[in-house]
Amino acid sequence: QLSDMAFGIRELSKKLGHIRLKLKVKNVFILTKAHDETLIHKTREVVKWLLSYHENDHSYVEDTLKEEPDFDAQGILADPEYQGRLRFWNDELCQKRPHTFDIILALGGDGTVLYASALFQRIVPPVLAFALGSLGFLTKFDYDSYPKTLTRAFSEGVTVSLRLRFEATVMRSRKRAGHDTPQARRDLVEELIGVEAEDAHTHAPEKSWNILNDVVLDRGPNPTMSSIEVFGDEEHFTTVQADGICVATPTGSTAYNLAAGGSLCHPDNPVILVTAICAHTLSFRPIILPDTIVLRIGVPYDARTSSWASFDGRERTELKPGDYVTISASRYPFPSVLPLDRRSEDWIDSISRTLNWNSRQRQKAFT
Amino acid sequence: QLSDMAFGIRELSKKLGHIRLKLKVKNVFILTKAHDETLIHKTREVVKWLLSYHENDHSYVEDTLKEEPDFDAQGILADPEYQGRLRFWNDELCQKRPHTFDIILALGGDGTVLYASALFQRIVPPVLAFALGSLGFLTKFDYDSYPKTLTRAFSEGVTVSLRLRFEATVMRSRKRAGHDTPQARRDLVEELIGVEAEDAHTHAPEKSWNILNDVVLDRGPNPTMSSIEVFGDEEHFTTVQADGICVATPTGSTAYNLAAGGSLCHPDNPVILVTAICAHTLSFRPIILPDTIVLRIGVPYDARTSSWASFDGRERTELKPGDYVTISASRYPFPSVLPLDRRSEDWIDSISRTLNWNSRQRQKAFT
Amino acid sequence: QLSDMAFGIRELSKKLGHIRLKLKVKNVFILTKAHDETLIHKTREVVKWLLSYHENDHSYVEDTLKEEPDFDAQGILADPEYQGRLRFWNDELCQKRPHTFDIILALGGDGTVLYASALFQRIVPPVLAFALGSLGFLTKFDYDSYPKTLTRAFSEGVTVSLRLRFEATVMRSRKRAGHDTPQARRDLVEELIGVEAEDAHTHAPEKSWNILNDVVLDRGPNPTMSSIEVFGDEEHFTTVQADGICVATPTGSTAYNLAAGGSLCHPDNPVILVTAICAHTLSFRPIILPDTIVLRIGVPYDARTSSWASFDGRERTELKPGDYVTISASRYPFPSVLPLDRRSEDWIDSISRTLNWNSRQRQKAFT
Amino acid sequence: QLSDMAFGIRELSKKLGHIRLKLKVKNVFILTKAHDETLIHKTREVVKWLLSYHENDHSYVEDTLKEEPDFDAQGILADPEYQGRLRFWNDELCQKRPHTFDIILALGGDGTVLYASALFQRIVPPVLAFALGSLGFLTKFDYDSYPKTLTRAFSEGVTVSLRLRFEATVMRSRKRAGHDTPQARRDLVEELIGVEAEDAHTHAPEKSWNILNDVVLDRGPNPTMSSIEVFGDEEHFTTVQADGICVATPTGSTAYNLAAGGSLCHPDNPVILVTAICAHTLSFRPIILPDTIVLRIGVPYDARTSSWASFDGRERTELKPGDYVTISASRYPFPSVLPLDRRSEDWIDSISRTLNWNSRQRQKAFT
C-alpha cells in the first residue's frame, strides 16, 4: 500500500519531466540581446519568418528595437501584411500580462534564458531557446534549423520540462521599538527559531525574486571570510565560516555550484543544493536537501562585516548583520521546451560536451 | 496549471516523507545480532516486556536463539502467560510471509537495520530501530527508553519515512548459439542499446537484491583499474576508468558514497547518486540522477579483468567481461520509523554528530 | 656520484629545518596587539621579567604603549634599575635597523606572528611566539611557561626553522609612448614572454612585499569570475577562469590554501602551492612547484574587470588589466623558534589539533 | 647569514634539476617490450643505426630477443662489422653490473621507463626515453627523430634530471620467543615508537625495492575498509580508516596519487605525497612531507584483515596484522634525460596535454 503510493509519486514525477503541450500560438515573444548586431539581424529574420508563417499571429520584440536601425521596424511594418502584427514588449508587460504570450523564443546563449526567467517572475510561457553558438544547458535548439523547429512546434506541439525555480526573499532586520538590546547583542538563531520566532517585529520582507540558477551569499569586497547562519524549516542547521555559500537549483548545478565543488545534478531532481564556497574547515561537504524545505541563510548580528547576496548573478544586495534570505521552491517553475528528435536523455551529453565531464586522457600507445 | 501540478507533486512528496500509521500490533519481529552476549540479554528483556505488555501479542526472535542459554527461551515459555507467544523466525519466513509481522524492532546499530533490509527483500514491515551505542543514521531511538517508546508507538501509532531502495539484478552475458564473434569482439554498448538491444539472447538475469545503501563495482583483487560502462535508460552515459563506481541511495550517501567523495544527501530525496571511486581523470564529478532512471553498469567485453559487485556490502559477486548490473528504484521501499518527539529535521543533526560535518577548528584566542 | 650529490643536498636541507643558534641577547623586541587589554597586562609582566632578568638588556615595546595607562611605562621607568632600558620601537626602526634586535617575542596568536613578518620586510630576528590561547601553527610556546622558556632560550640558545617567504612585486602596465595599440589590444603573454619580453617599457615595478603565507588574487567586489594569466619562469602556464588564485608558501598551506582545496604542506618543503579559488572547470587540480621558479600572475589586457591582490591578507591592491604580480622565493626567510622539548615532528600534531585533520567519527557500538 | 645559507641550498637544488653530462658511450642498453611486434622492428632499426654509428660501441638488447625471428639477431650478427657488438642483457646483469652501461634507451611508453627503474635497483644509467605514441610524463623524445636525438646526445652530451626514488622495505612481524602476548594484543605503535622501539626482535626486514612512482597499501580483495597506522620518523602521525593509502614520489603524482585526489607535483620537488584512498572521514586532506622523513605504514595487530602493498604497481604483497613498510628517499635517484631543444619548463605542458589539466569549456558564443 505504502509501496504503491511511493510508486505512484515516482510515475507522476517522471511525467512531469516531459509534458506534451499543444500550442495555439497567437502571440510569440522574442527575446534577444538588443545590443548585439548579429543577433539583431537574426531576430529580424525570425520575425519576418513568423509574420509570414501565419497571417493572424503577432510577434513581440523588445521595445528598444523600435528605433534600432539594424532591426528596421519601419521596414517590416511597411509591408501591409505585417501591419499591426509586429508589436513591442517592455518589462512592465512581462510582469503584468504574462498570459498574453503563448511561447517565448530565446535567441542567444544560456544567459538569454536566465534573462527570460528574470523577466517573467511569476507565470512563464514555454521557452524555446535557440543557441547561436554551440548548444548549452538551456539552449537546446540549433538556430540554423529554426524554420523546421518552429513549423514542427506550431503544428505538433512541444514537450516541456518544468524546471524548479526558487523564490528568494530578502528579510531585513528591524529596529525593535521598546527594546534596549544593542544590535550586536541580538541573536539571529533566537529570533528565527527561538520562542520569539513568531514575532513579526524582528524582520520585514524587502523584495522577492524567482530564480532559476542560484542564490549566492559571499564576502563581496571584504578581505575576510563570512560567517553565515543556515536554517532549514524550524531548525538551525549550521554556521558556515567561508567565503560564502551557494544555494542552487538542479538547473544551477552546472553554474556556480560546480565551481564551488558541488555535484552535477540532473535538472529533473526536486532538490536544493547547498555548497560552501571555500569553507574554512576540512569537513564541509556539499549537502542535497529536498525542495520541500524552506531554507534561511543570514548574517549573524555579531558579524564584523556585511555579506552580499546575488540572485542568478544579478541584483547584488548587501546583507547587514541580522538580515537574511529565505529560499524555497517557487510556485512558478520554468517550462523549458525540449527537443522532439533528440534522445530522451540529453543531460549527460550536455555535461560531457560543455564541461568535459569525465573526459579521459588521450590514449597513450605502448604504455 | 502546470505550476499547480508541480506544486501538487511537491506536497505529496512531502507527505511521503512523514506518514502516520496506526498500528494493530499482533506480531512483533525482533532483530538482533544473535552472537553478542549483551544484545542477547537486552533482547530477552525486550521480549519479556512485550509479552507482558499485551496478552495476545506474539514476539518472534531468530531461531538461533532457541537453544541459546543466555536467552533461555525455555525459561520464558515456562511462564503460562507466555506459552505459545514466543515464536521463532528464520530466513524463509521473512521471505515468504513478511505480512505476518506488524512491526520490526531492531536492536544494535545501523548494520542491524541493513540486515533487516536484506531479510525482507519485498514487503518490509515498519522498522523501529534502537541504538545500543550512540544514535546513528538509521537507529533513531535510544534503547534505554524502549518501554516509553514502545508504549507510545503501540497506542498512538508511528510516523514512518519511506526510504528508497534499489532493485539490483546481475545480468550474465550468454554464449550466443550460432554466433561466431569471439567474446572479446562483442560490444556491450551495441548489445544494450544498439539495434540488437531487444535481443534477450545476449544476457540472462541471474539474481536480484533489494538494497538500502549502495551497489558498488570495484576492481577487487586486481592491481589495475577497472573499466566500467554506464548506461541510463536507453543511453550510454560514459565509460569510467577508475577503481570502481558507487551507485548509492540517499540513505547510502553517508556510507561508501561519502568515502568516494559524493555529496551528503537527505534521505527523502528521490535520487540516485553515482560516484566514481578514484577516477583516473581530473574531470569526474559525482552526478545525481532521478530515481526514475534505470541504470546499467557493466564490464566491457574487451576488459582485461573482471570487476566485483557488492550489494549493501554483501554478496560479493564477480562480473566477467560482458556482465552487467541493472539498478532501478525498487517497488519495495524501506519504512523507517521516525521519532515522535524529535524535531522534524534530524538529518543535519545526524551528519554533524556522526560525521563531524562542518565541525570547526577550536577557537583560537587572540588571533 | 650524482647520487651522492642528491644525498648531500638532502642532508643540508634537513639541517636547515632545525638550526641551533646561540643567542647573545642584548635587545629584545616585544610584539603584541596594543589595543587588547589582557595582552597589554601580560606584555607588562614579560617586560618587567626581562628587565629584572639581566641588568644590561633592553626591552623594546611598540611606541603606542608609551602613553597607554594600562601599560604604565612611567611606572616601569620609575624604577632606577630599569631606567633607559625600556625602549620603544616604531615601524621605521623595524625597517631601517632590524639588526638592532636579537630576538622577537610575539604575544598573541598566529596573526601576531604574521604581523612580525610584515614589520620586518628584510632581515628578521628569530621569532619566539607565545600563544595566549591554544597553540597555533606559528605560536608554539605556552604563555604560562614564559619564564622557563626564556631562561632556557637565553642560556642554552634556540632552535630555529627557516620558513620560506615570498617576495611579491606589483608590476604596473605602462602607457607606451609612440605605440598606437589600444590598451585592450595589447597582449600580456606577448609582453611577458614574447619577443618583446625584455622591453622594460611595458611594465614598471610599483611596490614589493615579503610575505609569509600567501598572495591571493581574487575578483573582489565583482560579481563575475576573474580571468588570470599564470606564468612560470619564461613560460605561460595556463589561463585560470576562477574566483581567484592562491599562491601559498608551505607556512600558508593551512590558511587560505586550505579553504581553496589545496593540500596540507609541511613547512620545511621548498615549494610553491598554486591553487585556484572556485575554478570554473572540472579539471583544475592544485599544483606544487619548486621554490626556484619565478611565478607571475596577471590580469589579461582584454579582461572586463580588475582583480584584487592581497599579501598575507593585507595591502589589498587593485590590479587593472595588464598589471601583474611577480612572486619568487625571498632572500629573507622567517626564522621561527622551535620548542626544545617538543618532539621533532610537531606539524602533524598541529594540523590534527587545529584543523581536526583526519579526525574520525565517534565509535558506534554494535555496528 | 642564515638567509645566505637558504639561498645557497636553493641554488644547488636548482642545478640538481638540470645536470649536464658528457657521455662517453661505449655500451648502450636498449629496453623495450619484447612481445610487441612493432616495437621489435623498431628496436632492430635502432640497433642497426647504433652499430653503424660508431664502430667500437656495443648495443645490449634483452636476451629474449636472441631467438626472436622478427628481431633476427643472426641476421645482424652476420654482418662482419657488427660481430660481437650486439650483446644480450638479462636481469642479473642489470643487478650486478649496472656500471657496464653508459646510457639506457627506452622505447615504448611511460610503463617502459618504470620497468627500467625496476631493473636497475641501485645505480641507474641515464635513461633517454622515446615515445612511440604521444609524449608522456617520462617519455620525452619522439621516436621518429631518434637519429638526430642520438647523434646530438652522443656528441654534445645530455641534460639529466635526478628523479627522487623511494626505498621501500617490507618489515615482517616476528613471533616473539618467550613472550606470551597473543598476536592481537600486541601494539604496533608501542613496538615502533614506544620504549621497546629499539628492540630488533619485533620485526625483520624481508625485501626492499627502489621505486619511482608510489607505494600503495590497499584492502585488496577485502570488502571492508583498511585500518592503517602511519608513522613519520619517531612519531605516530595518524590512523587512516580508508580503502588504502598512496605514498607517492613527485614523479608518481600524476599516477595513482591523482586518482586518489592528490595534488599535481613538479618532479623536482624533494617531497613525499601522502594521500588516503577513499578515507572514511570528511576531514582527510592530502599531506606533503619533506623527503628527509622516514615514513612507516603498517597494519595494526588488531586489524581484522590483511592489507596489500604494491610497489610501482608491481610486487603485490600481503601485509598481515603487525607487518609494515618503511619508505624513505633512496640513495639511488633515477636520471631522466631531458630534451635539449624543449623549453626548460615542460611539466606544465605535460599535465595539460596528458591530463587535460585546467582545460576549459568550449567557448559559448552569445552567453
Whether the CB of C36 is below 8 Å from some CB of chain B: the reply is yes
Query: What's the confidence (pLDDT) of residue A365?
Result: 35
The reply to whether residue A112 touches residue D366, judged by beta carbons under 8 angstroms, is yes
Percent pLDDT > 70 in chain A is: 95
Q: SS3 for chain A, per residue?
A: CHHHHHHHHHHHHHHHCCEEECCCCCEEEEECCCCCHHHHHHHHHHHHHHHHHCCCCEEEEEHHHCCCCCCCHHHHHHCHHHCCCEEEECHHHHHHCHHHCCEEEEEECHHHHHHHHHHCCCCCCCEEEEECCCCCCCCCEEHHHHHHHHHHHHHHCEEEEEECCEEEEEEEECCCCCCCCCHHHCCHHHHHHCCCCCCCCCEEEEEEEEECCEEEEECCCCCCCEEEEEEECCEEEEEEEECEEEEECCHHHHCHHHHCCCCEECCCCCEEEEEEECCCCCCCCCEEEECCCCEEEECCCCCCCCEEEEECCEEEEEECCCCEEEEEECCCCEEEEECCCCCCCCHHHHHHHHHCCCCCCCCCCCC
* Cα gap A263→B192, rounded to integer Å: 27
The reply to whether residue A362 touches residue D355, judged by beta carbons under 8 angstroms, is no
Q: What residues of chain B, 99 to 138, have a C-beta less than 8 Å from chain A? A: 123
Query: What mean pLDDT do residues A30-45 have?
Result: 89
The reply to whether residue C356 touches residue B359, judged by beta carbons under 8 angstroms, is yes
Q: Could you tell me the pLDDT band of residue A364, with boundaries at 50, 70 and 90?
A: very low
Angle ∠(A274,A276,A282) on CA atoms, nearest 5: 125
Cα distance from B325 to chain A (closest Cα, Å)? 20
Whether the CB of A238 is below 8 Å from some CB of chain D: the reply is no
Query: What's the confidence (pLDDT) of residue D342?
Result: 55
Cell numbers standing for residue D86? 650486439
The torsion angle over the Cα atoms of residues D37, D38, D39 and D43, rounded to 10 degrees, is 100
Length of chain A: 367
Nearest to B2 among A9, A335, A359 (CB): A335
Query: What's the confidence (pLDDT) of residue A81?
Result: 86
Report the residue of chain D nearest C232, measured CA to CA.
Answer: D345
Using a CB-CB cut-off of 8 Å, the residues of chain B touching D357 are: 282
What are the CA-CA distances from residue B90 to residues B29, B84, B332 (Å)? 11, 17, 20
Whether the CB of B357 is below 8 Å from some CB of chain D: the reply is yes
Query: What's the confidence (pLDDT) of residue B263?
Result: 96
Q: SS3 for A270-297, per residue?
A: CEEEEEEECCCCCCCCCEEEECCCCEEE
User: pLDDT tens across A224-233, in order?
Assistant: 889 999 999 8
Query: What's the confidence (pLDDT) of residue A13?
Result: 74
Q: State the chains in contact with A (3 or more Cβ–Cβ pairs under 8 Å).
A: B, C, D
Give the best residue of C278, C310, C350 to mutate against chain A (max A CB count within 10 A).
Answer: C278
Cα distance from A316 to chain B (closest Cα, Å)? 27
Please name every residue paired with A141 in a beta bridge, in sequence order, or none if there are none: A130
Q: How does DSSP classify residue D260?
A: T
Please name every residue paired with D344 in a beta bridge, in sequence order, or none if there are none: none
Query: What's the confidence (pLDDT) of residue D323?
Result: 96
Judge contact between B205 and B277, C-beta under 8 A: no
Whether the CB of C243 is below 8 Å from some CB of chain A: the reply is yes
Q: Where are the domains of chain A?
A: 12-163, 166-329
Query: What's the confidence (pLDDT) of residue B363?
Result: 41
Nearest to D238 among C241, C352, C361 (CB): C352
* Cα gap C93→C60, rounded to integer Å: 11
What are the CA-CA distances from residue B28 to residues A239, B61, B327, D278 (Å)? 42, 9, 32, 39
Residue type, D256: Y
Whether the CB of D280 is below 8 Å from some CB of chain C: the reply is yes
Give the phi and the psi of residue A135 in degrees, each rounded to 5.
-60, 145
Whether the CB of A279 is below 8 Å from some CB of chain B: the reply is yes
Q: How many CB pairs (< 8 A) connect A and C?
A: 58
What are the CA-CA distances from residue B205 to residues A83, A134, B191, B322, B332 (Å)? 66, 41, 15, 13, 19
Whether the CB of C248 is below 8 Å from some CB of chain A: the reply is no
Task: Answer with the residue of higher pLDDT: A340 or A355.
Answer: A355
Using a CB-CB cut-off of 8 Å, the residues of chain D touching A108 are: 366-367
The reply to whether residue D134 touches residue A364, judged by beta carbons under 8 angstroms, is yes
Residue type, D304: R
Using a CB-CB cut-off of 8 Å, the residues of chain D touching A110 are: 364, 367
The reply to whether residue D366 touches residue A285, judged by beta carbons under 8 angstroms, is no
Q: What is the pLDDT along chain D (367 residues), one digit of tens a residue?
A: 667 777 777 777 777 777 888 888 899 999 998 778 889 999 999 999 999 887 778 999 999 999 989 999 999 998 888 888 999 999 999 999 999 999 999 999 899 999 999 999 999 999 999 998 888 899 999 999 999 999 999 999 999 988 999 999 999 998 876 667 777 788 999 899 887 776 678 999 999 999 999 999 999 888 888 999 999 988 899 999 999 999 999 999 999 999 999 999 999 999 999 999 999 999 999 999 999 899 999 999 999 899 999 999 998 999 999 999 999 999 999 999 998 755 557 888 888 888 888 876 544 434 3
Query: What mean pLDDT do residues A85-96 have?
Result: 93
Nearest to D241 among C286, C335, C360 (CB): C360
Q: How does DSSP classify residue A147?
A: H
Whether the CB of B207 is below 8 Å from some CB of chain D: the reply is no
Nearest to B356 among C282, C285, C361 (CB): C361
Using a CB-CB cut-off of 8 Å, the residues of chain A touching D110 are: 364, 367
Check if the interface score ipTM surpasses 0.85: yes
The reply to whether residue C281 touches residue D332, judged by beta carbons under 8 angstroms, is no
Query: What mean pLDDT do residues B31-41 have?
Result: 87
Nearest to A285 among B162, B264, B345 (CB): B264
Whether the CB of A2 is below 8 Å from some CB of chain B: the reply is yes
Nearest to C278 among A259, A280, A356 (CB): A259
Cα distance from C229 to chain D (closest Cα, Å)? 12
Give the best residue of D141, D354, D364 to mutate against chain A (max A CB count within 10 A).
Answer: D364
Nearest to D238 among C13, C276, C358 (CB): C358
Homologous superfamily in CATH for domain A166-329: Probable inorganic polyphosphate/atp-NAD kinase; domain 2 (2.60.200.30)
Q: How many CB pairs (< 8 A) connect C and D?
A: 205
The reply to whether residue B133 touches residue C33, judged by beta carbons under 8 angstroms, is no
End-to-end CA distance of chain D: 57
Angle ∠(D49,D53,D56) on CA atoms, nearest 5: 120
Using a CB-CB cut-off of 8 Å, the residues of chain C touching A283 are: 356, 359
The reply to whether residue D221 touches residue B224, judged by beta carbons under 8 angstroms, is no
Using a CB-CB cut-off of 8 Å, the residues of chain D touching B220 are: 221
Give the phi and the psi of residue A211 in degrees, each rounded to 5.
-125, 155
Q: How many CB pairs (< 8 A) connect B and D?
A: 60
The reply to whether residue B277 touches residue D278, judged by beta carbons under 8 angstroms, is yes
Report the residue of chain A nearest C261, measured CA to CA.
Answer: A278
Residue type, B26: K
The reply to whether residue D282 touches residue B356, judged by beta carbons under 8 angstroms, is yes
* Cα gap A40→A42, rounded to integer Å: 5
The reply to whether residue C112 touches residue B366, judged by beta carbons under 8 angstroms, is yes
Nearest to C366 among B108, B353, B359 (CB): B108
Do B12-163 and B166-329 have matching folds?
no
Q: Does domain D16-163 have CATH number 3.30.70.3000?
A: no
Q: Could you tell me the pLDDT band of residue B100, with boundaries at 50, 70 and 90?
A: very high
Using 50 as the pLDDT threshold, list the residues of chain C that sit under it.
362-367
Q: State the chains in contact with C (3 or more Cβ–Cβ pairs under 8 Å).
A: A, B, D
Of D281, D282, D192, D284, the residue nearest D246 (C-alpha): D284
* Cα gap C82→C61, rounded to integer Å: 14
Q: Does domain A12-163 have CATH number 3.30.470.30?
A: no
Cα distance from A161 to chain C (closest Cα, Å)? 26
> Residue A167 is inside which H or E element, if any?
strand A166-173
Query: What mean pLDDT do residues B292-303 have?
Result: 94
Query: What's the confidence (pLDDT) of residue B23?
Result: 85
D234: left (phi over 0), alpha (psi -120 to 50) or beta: alpha
Report the residue of chain A nearest D280, measured CA to CA.
Answer: A283
Q: Is a pLDDT exceeding 70 seen at residue A94?
A: yes
Report the residue of chain A nearest D34, measured CA to CA.
Answer: A366
The reply to whether residue C134 touches residue B39, judged by beta carbons under 8 angstroms, is no
The reply to whether residue D6 touches residue C333, judged by beta carbons under 8 angstroms, is yes
Cα distance from D289 to chain C (closest Cα, Å)? 5
